C-alpha cells in the first residue's frame, strides 16, 4: 500500500508539534534541499553523482554506517564533491525500537565508519566547510521518532532532520510518478527526500535527472541541509 498521498498531511500535522526538527527552510526564499537516504551504493550513488555533477548541484546524503563500510570509495567521491553528509543509523533500524544505548552506539558507529572512509580523502580544492569528525545532522529511518528520540538526539548534540516532500520512491511506482509527486508538492524551502540505496536506488539517477531541470526552470536554487538550517525558522 502506497502512502504517498498521506505524507503532505502528516507533514502539516507533525511540523508544528515538533518544531525542533528541521522540516523545511523559509518560505520567503526560493531555495530547496535535495536529500538522499540509505546510501552510499556502489552503483546507484555513482550514477547519481554524475547527474549532480552535470548540473553542478550540491545535495545532502544521509548514510547508513554498514553501507559506508561496504563502499568507502563511493563515500569519498561524495565527500570530495562537497556534498553535505548526515547520519541515518548503522543499519536501517527504526530509532524508537532501539534502547538509548543501542541508538547512541548506532550513531557513533556510523560516525566512525564515515571517519574511516574519508580519512584518506584529500583534495586541496575542497571548500572544507564540512567536518567529517563532527557530523551533527541525523535523519531517523522511515521518519519514525518519539519525543524521547528527539530528546536524546538533542542531548547528544545532534540535529534531527525530517522532510516536507516524500514521493515514496522506495516503492518504485515509476519515475514519472515520483517526478510528478515532487513537482506537485514542492514549495519555497522544501526538503525533498529520495533514496540512493537498495530500495529506490535503481531509479534515483534518472529521477533526479528529470527533476533538476524542471525545478531550475521554476526558479528554485538548490542548497544543502546546513544552509537550510541557516535559513530555517527553527
pLDDT digits (tens, 9 = 90+) for 64-78: 999 999 999 999 999
Catalogue all structural domains in the chain, each as residue range(s) with its CATH number. Answer: 25-230 (3.20.20.370)
What are all long-range contacts of 176-185, with beta carbons under 8 Å and residues at least 24 apart?
178/203, 178/207, 179/207, 179/210, 179/211, 179/214, 181/4, 182/211, 183/211, 183/214, 183/215, 185/8
Indicate the pLDDT class of residue 129, thresholds 50, 70 and 90: low
Interval 35-46 mean pLDDT: 98
Question: For all residues of the chain together, what is the average pLDDT?
Answer: 93
Q: Give CA separation, 40 vs 23, 45, 59, 74, 117, in Å.
A: 23, 6, 13, 6, 11
Q: CA 76 to CA 78: how far, in whole Å?
A: 5
Q: Does pTM surpass 0.85?
A: yes
Q: CA 101 to CA 228: how far, in whole Å?
A: 30
pLDDT digits (tens, 9 = 90+) for 194-229: 999 999 999 999 999 999 999 999 999 999 999 999
Interval 95-121 mean pLDDT: 95
Is pLDDT at 234 greater than 80 in this prediction?
Answer: no
Amino acid at each position: 500500500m502506497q502512502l504517498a498521498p498521506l505524507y503532505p498531511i502528516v507533514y502539516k500535522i507533525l511540523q508544528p508539534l515538533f518544531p525542533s526538527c528541521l522540516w523545511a527552510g523559509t518560505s520567503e526564499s526560493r531555495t530547496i534541499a535535495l536529500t538522499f537516504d540509505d546510501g552510499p551504493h556502489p552503483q546507484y550513488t555513482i550514477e547519481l553523482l554524475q547527474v549532480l555533477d552535470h548540473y553542478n548541484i550540491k545535495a545532502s546524503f544521509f548514510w547508513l554506517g554498514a553501507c559506508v563500510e561496504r563502499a568507502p570509495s563511493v563515500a569519498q567521491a561524495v565527500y570530495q564533491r562537497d556534498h553535505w553528509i548526515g547520519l541515518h543509523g548503522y543499519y536501517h533500524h527504526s530509532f524508537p525500537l532501539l534502547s538509548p544505548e543501542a541508538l547512541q552506539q548506532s550513531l557513533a558507529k556510523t560516525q566512525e565508519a564515515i571517519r574511516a572512509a574519508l580519512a584518506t580523502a584529500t583534495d586541496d580544492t575542497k571548500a572544507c566547510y564540512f567536518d567529517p569528525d563532527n557530523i551533527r545532522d541525523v535523519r531517523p529511518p522511515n521518519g519514525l521518532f518519539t519525543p524521547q528520540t528527539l530528546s536524546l538526539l538533542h542531548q547528544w548534540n545532534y540535529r534531527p532532520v525530517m522532510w516536507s516532500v516524500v514521493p515514496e520512491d522506495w516503492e518504485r511506482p515509476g519515475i514519472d510518478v515520483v517526478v510528478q509527486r515532487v513537482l506537485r508538492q514542492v514549495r519555497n524551502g522544501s526538503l525533498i527526500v529520495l533514496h540512493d540505496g537498495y530500495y529506490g536506488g535503481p531509479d534515483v539517477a534518472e529521477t533526479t535527472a528529470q527533476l533538476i531541470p524542471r525545478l531550475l526552470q521554476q526558479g528554485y536554487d538548490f542548497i544543502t541541509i546546513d544552509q537550510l538550517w541557516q535559513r530555517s525558522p527553527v
